[in-house]
Structure 1
Amino acid sequence: MKHPQSLDSISQGCQQYWPPGAPTQAQYPIGRRPLNQYLAHWAQQVPNKSALEFYGYSLSFAELDALSNQFAHYLASIGIVKGDRVALYLPNCPQFNIAYFGVMKAGAIHVPVSPLSKQMELMHQLGDSQPKAVVSFDRLLEFMQPVCEQLNIDNLLVTSISELRPEQPTIPLPELFDAAKLDPVGGQVDFFSAIKDMPSSAPSVKVELDDVAALNYTGGTTGLPKGCVHTHANIIDTVAAYSPLVYGDYDGNASEQVMCTFLPEFWIAGENTGILFPMFSGNTLVLLARWDCVAFLEAVEHYQVNVCNLLVDSIDEILNHPLVNDFNLESLNCTPCISFIKKLNPDYRQRWRELTGTTLFEAAYGMTETHTCDTFTKGFQEDNFDLKIEPAFVGMPVPGTQFKICDLASEQELPIGSEGEIWIKSPTLFQGYWNKPEDNQRLLKDGWFRTGDLGMITEHGFVRYLGRFKEMIKVNGMSVFPTEIEAMLGQNEAIAACGVIGRKDTKKGQVPVAFLTLKPGAKQSEAELNQWARNAMAVYKVPEIRILQQLPMTATGKVRKKDLEDLL
């Protein structure tokens, strides 16, 4: 009988099958220090090098450093001190990157908020994190302003994308540039006006690795989203373990690679690709406000993009676009991908290789709690090795990260080759959920985190993902938790009880379906409740509504979701 054995990047199995030349330890080009110090370093070493390109609007490393310093000084001027929270309610734009580093330099805590969130979701996240200041996209003020008023958040800054409209765009502009800038009213402050007269020198706040840097909100198995507490150490350790494995070794000089991202920066994967990875290596970042196939193709050709993390759905659109052969994509040399609705397969890989000369590979296995980069698959693509292992091969753990498989009931570690719950221990592991001591006690065990995912470890040291133990629904790649929707639907005065499950959908992957009963006397129709939900939550969370006379219940008063699945 095989004995229990946890898996890390230096175990015997991993050593034997480790890709040749891949680093076995985390690398820190200029030392293990907060990422905002990397920005200051590049601003000194390569001040005029482009740090960010946005449709023709450019920021050098020196300019990004100075603007983020100014924002840090502004935060101090309104009373923000170390440990205070600052929320960013923005789409992808340079202001996000400026504010992110300004928050870090001020010693404050970054709270990214989805720009898809509406009033009920904002009330929960901001009510939980209690930020002292908010930076909001001007076109989203109709949702944010009343929330700030209700929560007594006095410092509301606004900004727009249209004010950055270049005279000569380098690539097609999204419609966001067409919307005229809305002037601040009712006590709001214009972002760029607020910081323009602030000192551009570095603030005096001392930021330590163990200081909390961010509250990244994620869904949970119970209740509404929870804030994952990440330190500056969690952030830099994430990049130092993953980036050298996937994007190449660094010698302390600014990389000549050009990175591109369209992933939303409020999302943990978008934070990695739009902020952390490029700053760590001194890359130029080409930032897209959103996915647009032609804009991406033009960006690759114009900026000679080398690296981009893509969704397989995006790859499918590129490969089948009628104009794809009009563009030169030969600059691409590293294209990790993420399988959500569409999955990476040999056909996609072969066609992509013929088009670009580079090989697709899955980016990583991970979650918000661990900053998403727990494994890597690069180096296992020969003869489609990674695609032949079923179910999903997610690679080997990155340096410093450990995996073990435990029994769901007893929590005891299982032998190699057994199926069970994936547990992770890593320098990137969050410090716990914000204001959730009971969840922390249940899920964090002696430095290990219970992921709620099912998987196994092979005798060769490979990690395989078998599925979700949790009830998470994936809608267009976005995580949706039934309990979150149930909690929000429960606030509708007409709804007595509800149960939410996922339904397979050929276009979106899954869609949520809410089975519910109405309170006596309530007359709302399914269409009316659906419209209410559209006003209450992000569009990808809005469920299909099915009104029942009675929900199937257990003896203990819980909804029998298996019976709901049968109703589908």
Structure 2
Amino acid sequence: MDLETYLADLRARQERVRPADTPREVAYPLGEVVLPAHVEHWARTDPRRPAIVFGDDTLTYADLDDAHRRLAGWMHRHGVGAGDRVAVYLGNSPQFVVAFLAILRLGAVHVPVNPMFQPAELAYEINDSTPRVIVTSTALSATVDRARDRIGDVPLLLVDGPEWGEALAVEPYDGRADDLDALAALNYTGGTTGLPKGCQHTQRHMVYTAASAAGAAGYEPGAGYVSLCYLPIFWIAGEDLGILLPIVLGGTVVLMPRWDATAVLESIERHGVKVVVGTVENYLELLDHPQMPERDLSSLSDPQAVSFIRKLTPEVRARWAEAVPGSVLRESSYGMTETHTIDCVPYGFAADDHDLRAEPVFCGVPVPGTDIAVVSFETAEPLPIGEVGEIIVRSPSVTTGYWNNPEATAAQLRDGWIHTGDNGRFDEEGCLHYLGRAKEMIKVKGMSVFPAEIEMMLAQHPAVDSAAVVPTDDPDTGQRPVAFVTVREPVDAATLTTWARENMAGYKVPVVSVIDAFPMTATGKIRKNELAEAAREAVAVR
């Protein structure tokens, strides 16, 4: 079957199950215009509407419009122009958002840098992106100083220093770069292996991501949209939630520097928050919080979970529904840095826990304007419904390529499709199921074993808190899955192995190792590559 015939069949299946309250086409609240133009519009039509709430401070749209224009004026005076990179090495703060918008206003390139980076990591991204200036804080400037021998004399703008006040006193920059397709950001991949790559993104990618995600989840533009974001906004998923969706919709973001359960409960009630994205562990902490029964969380219509470690289960959803009637806890989305992260959502599939009881991991249907296919890793030919292959994505938000890395660009970006390296399949309804990275797939005597499937099955054991499965070589079977498990109550590996034999096919039964904690990336993902040596040892001991 040729690709376009295959896609036509998929789209027909998906339209039959797509939630009725979501549009079939992308709807742009203000049309396809750049982000600073959105800020200008909301500042003109409702200047007192809160754009950013940060603790006790509020920036209205009028404040945000004025501040980013003035910072753009300062940057322009200091030689920043179209195409120049500007690194933003900050934690969550209004200053981050102001810098982001100022950079885009000039047609320069936003380079968000992880504020947890140490000198070697910082030096790599600074040397790769070669920014004209680094926007940072006094505390983080100490790390910059320790990297000076590697990055040279890149000037700093300290957001908590006197120069910030001076920058915001400059005459506003009234020009505006309006090319939606110009390079606007380098979002570095935050994977678990290999050196980060700078994904080239444009403002068209950004505006499409916000508009399509809003449509897929049934969000309306205006003051009624309020999100709460403690995800790091240097991370592209945090950028979507904490910057792009509020600005495109003309809503409000309640921005927090970090996770704080008490502050989250207070903020949801105080500001009428509609959308939150957090880990399953975050929601469990809220459910166990002593203030939970006292708080009015009725505004929270779309709480979303990301299952980095603990998995969202029907039991967790039921607990949440009992605590917050009418609020359905769901998985967030399938996506990656290369696609601006929101490609496929399970919104609208929670009835009878259909999304959570389906074979792992249920991702739902693509957002409007996005095509997803499952193809052969070897031939790139589309595969029949139900067969497992490589997930590929085509959308208006796919990266234009990797910065300074034509080899990686050629390998992953082909004919407008990003080849994700992820295993997946479509079910009869045209819903996508994610089965893990291709390099994580395990072959046991020729049988394919997917880590995500074993992880979700182990999560059903009442003593298991979380699980991470990695492959290792085995002289008898070729490969063997090894499951590293953290537990919420005492249980040994032998007991879990026995349970696994009773609940899954023999070739899927893993070697089990109970551990205290997982090695983690800065963005909260398990470093599975660091578990590889421990996996070899576990199999050797067995």
Q: Shift of residue 507 of structure 1? A: 7.7
180, 193, 200: which is aligned to 1:229? 200
Name the structure 2 match of 1:261. Answer: 229
1:488-520 Cα deviation digits (max 9, x unpaired): xxxxxxxxxxxxx99735289xxxxxxxxxxxx
Does residue 430 of the first structure (1) align with residue 399 of the second (2)? yes
1:410-432 Cα deviation digits (max 9, x unpaired): 33222222101111111110001
234, 241, 244: which is aligned to 1:276? 244
248, 252, 264: which is aligned to 2:219? 248
What are the residue-to-residue correspondences of 1:187-336 with 2, within 5 Å? 190-200=162-172, 202-219=173-190, 223-250=194-221, 254-336=222-304
Q: Which runs of 5+ in 1 are unaligned?
A: 161-182, 184-189, 483-500, 509-533, 547-558
Name the structure 1 match of 2:123. Answer: 123
Q: Shift of residue 243 of structure 1? A: 1.0
Q: Shift of residue 159 of structure 1? A: 2.5
Question: Under a length normalisation based on structure 2, what TM-score does the superposition of the two structures give?
Answer: 0.81
1:300-345 Cα deviation digits (max 9, x unpaired): 1222222212221111111112232122212212212212111111
495, 504, 514: which is aligned to 2:484? 504
Name the structure 1 match of 2:434. Answer: 465
SS at match of 1:309: strand
1:65-102 Cα deviation digits (max 9, x unpaired): 11011111111111011000111111111111111111
Name the structure 2 match of 1:371. Answer: 340
Q: Tell whether the 8 Å contact from 2:181 to 2:202 is kept in structure 1 after alignment.
A: yes
**Identical columns (%):** 37
Q: Distance in 2 between matches of 1:361 and 1:150?
A: 44
Name the structure 2 match of 1:408. Answer: 377
Q: Shift of residue 194 of structure 1? A: 3.2
Does residue 103 of the first structure (1) align with residue 100 of the second (2)? no
Q: Distance in 2 between matches of 1:505 and 1:440?
A: 36
> Letter of the aligned partner of 2:64 in structure 1?
L
* Aligned-residue CA RMSD (Å): 3.2
1:427-452 Cα deviation digits (max 9, x unpaired): 11000111110111111111111101
SS at match of 1:238: helix
Aligned in 2, Cα 1:328/1:543: closer, same or farther, shift over 3 Å?
Answer: closer
Q: Tell whether the 8 Å contact from 1:4 to 1:416 is kept in structure 2 after alignment.
A: no
> Letter of the aligned partner of 1:371 in structure 2?
H
Name the structure 2 match of 1:166. Answer: none
Q: Distance in 2 between matches of 1:2 and 1:544?
A: 36
SS at match of 1:506: strand
Aligned in 2, Cα 1:299/1:502: closer, same or farther, shift over 3 Å?
Answer: farther
Aligned in 2, Cα 1:447/1:538: closer, same or farther, shift over 3 Å?
Answer: closer
Aligned in 2, Cα 1:191/1:340: closer, same or farther, shift over 3 Å?
Answer: farther
SS at match of 2:391: strand
Q: Distance in 1 between matches of 2:238 and 2:427?
A: 31
SS at match of 1:395: strand
Q: Identify the range of structure 1 (140-149 vs 320-329) with the bigger mean alpha-carbon deviation.
A: 140-149
Q: Shift of residue 282 of structure 1? A: 0.8
Aligned in 2, Cα 1:567/1:124: closer, same or farther, shift over 3 Å?
Answer: farther
1:538-563 Cα deviation digits (max 9, x unpaired): 697998999xxxxxxxxxxxx99974
Q: Tell whether the 8 Å contact from 2:201 to 2:399 is kept in structure 1 after alignment.
A: yes
> Letter of the aligned partner of 2:300 in structure 1?
L
> Letter of the aligned partner of 2:320 in structure 1?
W
343, 346, 351: which is aligned to 2:319? 351
Q: Distance in 2 between matches of 1:220 and 1:545?
A: 10
Name the structure 2 match of 1:75. Answer: 75
What are the residue-to-residue correspondences of 1:87-166 with 2, within 5 Å? 87-148=87-148, 150-160=150-160
Q: Distance in 2 between matches of 1:241 and 1:390?
A: 26
Name the structure 1 match of 2:64. Answer: 64
Q: Distance in 1 between matches of 2:102 and 2:19?
A: 38
Q: Which runs of 5+ in 2 are unaligned?
A: 442-450, 453-464, 472-480, 489-518
What are the residue-to-residue correspondences of 1:379-398 with 2, within 5 Å? 379-398=348-367
Q: Tell whether the 8 Å contact from 1:9 to 1:398 is kept in structure 2 after alignment.
A: no
Q: Distance in 2 between matches of 1:545 and 1:273?
A: 29
1:31-81 Cα deviation digits (max 9, x unpaired): 111122111110111111111111101111010111011111111111011
How many residue pairs get aligned? The number is: 476
1:137-171 Cα deviation digits (max 9, x unpaired): 221222112435642343201124xxxxxxxxxxx
Name the structure 2 match of 1:445. Answer: 414
Name the structure 1 match of 2:28. Answer: 28
Question: Under a length normalisation based on structure 1, what TM-score does the superposition of the two structures give?
Answer: 0.77
Q: Tell whether the 8 Å contact from 1:47 to 1:60 is kept in structure 2 after alignment.
A: yes
Aligned in 2, Cα 1:225/1:471: closer, same or farther, shift over 3 Å?
Answer: farther
Aligned in 2, Cα 1:29/1:119: closer, same or farther, shift over 3 Å?
Answer: same
Aligned in 2, Cα 1:416/1:542: closer, same or farther, shift over 3 Å?
Answer: closer
Does residue 339 of the first structure (1) align with residue 286 of the second (2)? no
Q: Tell whether the 8 Å contact from 2:85 to 2:130 is kept in structure 1 after alignment.
A: yes
Q: Distance in 1 between matches of 2:77 and 2:243?
A: 25
1:220-260 Cα deviation digits (max 9, x unpaired): 6874100000011111111111112214244xxx2323221
Aligned in 2, Cα 1:544/1:404: closer, same or farther, shift over 3 Å?
Answer: closer
Aligned in 2, Cα 1:197/1:317: closer, same or farther, shift over 3 Å?
Answer: same
> Letter of the aligned partner of 2:429 in structure 1?
H
Q: Distance in 1 between matches of 2:152 and 2:63?
A: 33
Name the structure 2 match of 1:531. Answer: none
Q: Distance in 1 between matches of 2:144 and 2:214?
A: 35
Q: Tell whether the 8 Å contact from 2:89 to 2:134 is kept in structure 1 after alignment.
A: yes
Aligned in 2, Cα 1:561/1:502: closer, same or farther, shift over 3 Å?
Answer: same
